[in-house]
């Protein structure tokens, strides 16, 4: 086996536009694991959103959520890693986003909290299978009052504006934050160092698999740190160009690209 551990992004990579995972891809995941491989989903989704989806085709294993900040045992839900923002850093980011009148999501151990309800939020909830709690007060005031541990902060924005906002936030917030895009209409903020690359390093140590024997596949900018750390770099054909420039390009998510990459990982060709 060429890659003994394989890490796959979820949305836009493993799951199709209609929210399903093809039977062929599920079968190839089973072939890979039966041959001794370790298959892991690495996503920006909330833990509560991704665990039920992975349990549709796997009973045991490890799942990485929140861009690498949270890592959980698939069967029990037990957390192996649970990182979050420093209180001051979370508050600073939320205040900056409030100044720009953005649509903001704040993720804590207790759930998803938002500053407005609109069609974008309704669609997000439908796709992810979660429900956001709309706060009547400013999210920054709520953070000061309740001081919850914040795992991730997200902005929902029109696709044509997302890259400009990503660059603006990274410039204003600096190296204490990791700012990325996980979808055409999402900009995500994490503590620096909590990205999918950190997940590869954690999994390499946890399973005792050298990074050169780890394969990874994705489609969006938030997958770049993961691909850069992995020995086997794969991108679905619907991926952003930045990924395709450094990876082996396989079929699209609609055409079982993950299954194709897993065959390469398993058969070494």
Each residue's pLDDT tens digit in the chain (269 positions)?
999 999 999 999 999 999 999 999 999 999 999 999 999 999 999 999 999 999 999 999 999 999 999 999 999 999 999 999 999 999 999 999 999 999 999 999 889 999 999 999 999 999 999 999 999 999 999 999 999 999 999 999 999 999 999 999 999 999 999 999 998 999 999 999 999 999 999 999 999 999 999 999 999 999 999 999 999 999 999 999 999 999 999 999 999 999 999 999 998 76
Nearest to 83 by CA among 91, 93, 71, 94: 71
CA 147, CA 131: separation in Å to the nearest integer?
21
Question: Would the pTM of this model clear 0.75, i.e. be above it?
Answer: yes
* pLDDT value of position 3: 97
CA 82, CA 1: separation in Å to the nearest integer?
31
Is the distance from CB of 42 to CB of 219 less than 8 angstroms? no
What is the full DSSP assignment across 191-246?
ETT-SHHHHHHHHHHHHT--GGGEEEEESSGGGHHHHHHSSEEEEETTS-HHHHTT
Vertex 43, ends 108 and 132: CA angle to 5°?
A: 35
* pLDDT value of position 269: 63
**What b/e readout covers 108-131, taking b as 16+ CB neighbours within 10 angstroms?**
beeebbbbeeeeebeebbeebeee
Is the distance from CB of 261 to CB of 28 less than 8 angstroms? no
Residues in the chain: 269
* pLDDT value of position 110: 86
Alpha helices in the chain (DSSP H): 23-34, 47-54, 87-99, 119-128, 139-146, 162-173, 196-207, 224-229, 241-244, 257-267
């Amino acid at each position: 086996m060429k890659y003994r551990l394989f890490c796959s992004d979820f949305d836009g990579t493993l799951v199709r536009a209609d929210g399903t995972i093809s039977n062929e891809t599920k079968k190839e995941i089973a072939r890979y694991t039966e041959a001794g491989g370790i298959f892991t989903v690495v996503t920006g989704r909330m833990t509560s959103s991704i665990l039920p989806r992975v349990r549709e085709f796997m009973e045991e294993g490890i799942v990485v959520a929140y861009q690498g900040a949270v890592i959980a045992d698939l069967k029990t839900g037990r957390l192996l890693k649970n990182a979050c923002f420093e209180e001051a850093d979370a508050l600073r980011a939320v205040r900056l986003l409030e100044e720009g009148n953005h649509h903001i999501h704040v993720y804590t151990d207790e759930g998803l909290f938002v500053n407005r309800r609109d069609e974008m939020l309704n669609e997000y909830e439908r796709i992810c299978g979660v429900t956001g709690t709309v706060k009547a007060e400013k999210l920054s005031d709520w953070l000061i009052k309740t001081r919850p541990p914040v795992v991730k902060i997200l902005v929902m924005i029109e696709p044509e504006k997302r890259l400009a906002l990503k660059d603006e936030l990274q410039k204003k917030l600096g190296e204490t934050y990791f700012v990325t895009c996980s979808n055409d209409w999402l900009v995500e903020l994490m503590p620096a160092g909590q990205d999918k690359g950190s997940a590869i390093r954690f999994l390499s140590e946890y399973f005792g698999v050298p990074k050169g024997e780890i394969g990874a596949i994705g489609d969006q900018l938030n997958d770049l740190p993961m691909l850069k750390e992995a020995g086997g770099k794969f991108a679905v054909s619907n991926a952003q160009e930045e990924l395709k420039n450094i990876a082996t390009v396989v079929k699209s998510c609609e055409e079982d690209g993950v299954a194709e990459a897993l065959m390469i990982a398993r058969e070494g060709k």
